[in-house]
Structure 1
Amino acid sequence: MTAWAQSLIRISNYEVETLQKRLAEITARRASTEMRLAVLDAEVEIERERARADADAAMLLQSYLHGWKLRKGAAEADLTVLDHEEEGARDALTSAFEELKKFEHVAELTRLNAVIAAGKRETAAFDELGLRRRAG
């Protein structure tokens, strides 16, 4: 394989690895945000139960619910942003992987063409040697 092909493949591999790390980071942030939403849902149920049993808690429930809705809305907005970010990262990773495969294909074709050319040169050399022996 030629040096230029090795360099292109090495650069493409690096890009694929970088994008894989980015996608993993986005996935981790997504899982964290989903966990935050689950915790918020559990907390609101606990507060509702407390309000049913305690009159003081019942008076404060509306204020709590207002704050809870704001926090839940922010978490859902974060999740929407992460969905778009994840989609973009997946598209970029797919493109980078396709580019890597193209470079590997071109490198392999270049290598095969070099082998074929060497075979032709060798055949031509043997043909010339055979002609010389016949003539000589």
Structure 2
Amino acid sequence: MTAWAQSLIRISNYEVETLQKRLAEITARRASAEMRLAVLDAEAEVERERARHDTESGLLLQAYLMGWKARKGAAETDLHDLDLEEEGARDALTGAFEELKKFEHVAETTRLNAILAAGRRETAAFDELGLRRRAV
């Protein structure tokens, strides 16, 4: 394999690895955002239950729920943004894999063409040698 092909493949592998790490980081952030939503829902349920048994808590429930809705909206927006970021990262990773495969294919084709060319040169040399022997 030629040096330029090795360099292209090495660079492509690095890009694929970088994008895989980015996707893993986005996935971790997404899991954290989903957990935050689950915690918010659980907290709201606890407050609703408390309001059923305590009249003072019942009076404060509406104010709590307004704040809860704002926090939940922000968390849902973050989750939506992470979904879009994850989709973009997956597309970029797919593109990087495709580029890597193209470079590997070109390198392999170049290697096979070199082998074929060497075989043709060897055959031509043997043919020439045979013609010289016959001419003598």
Shared fold (TM-score, shorter chain, > 0.5): yes
| CA shift digits 1:97-124 (9 cap, x unpaired) | 1010000010011001000000000001
Deviations 1:62-102 (A, max 9, x none): 11101111110000000111011011101111111101000
- RMSD in angstroms over aligned alpha carbons? 0.7
The residue that corresponds to 2:63 in the other structure is 63
Aligned to 2:97: 97
Ranges in structure 1 where 5+ consecutive residues have no aligned partner:
none
Identity of counterpart residues, as a percentage? 84
What does 1:21-60 align with in structure 2 at a 5 Å threshold?
21-60=21-60
| Equivalent residues in 2 for 1:72-111, closer than 5 Å | 72-111=72-111
Following TM superposition, the consecutive aligned residue runs of length 4 or more in structure 1 with deviations greater than 3 angstroms are none
AA matched with 2:54: D
One-letter amino acid matched to 1:86: E
- Alpha-carbon distance between aligned partners in 2 of 1:42 and 1:133, rounded to the nearest angstrom: 94
Cα displacement string for residues 8-52 of structure 1 (whole angstroms, at most 9, x for unaligned residues):
000000001100110111011000000100111111001100000
Counterpart residue number, 2:15: 15
- Could you say which residue in structure 1 is the equivalent of 2:128? 128
Partner letter of residue 44 of structure 1?
A: A
Shift of 1:133: 1.6
Within 2, Cα distance between the matches of 1:55 and 1:46? Answer: 15
Taking structure 2 as the reference length, the TM-score comes to 0.98
Query: Partner amino acid for 1:56?
Result: E
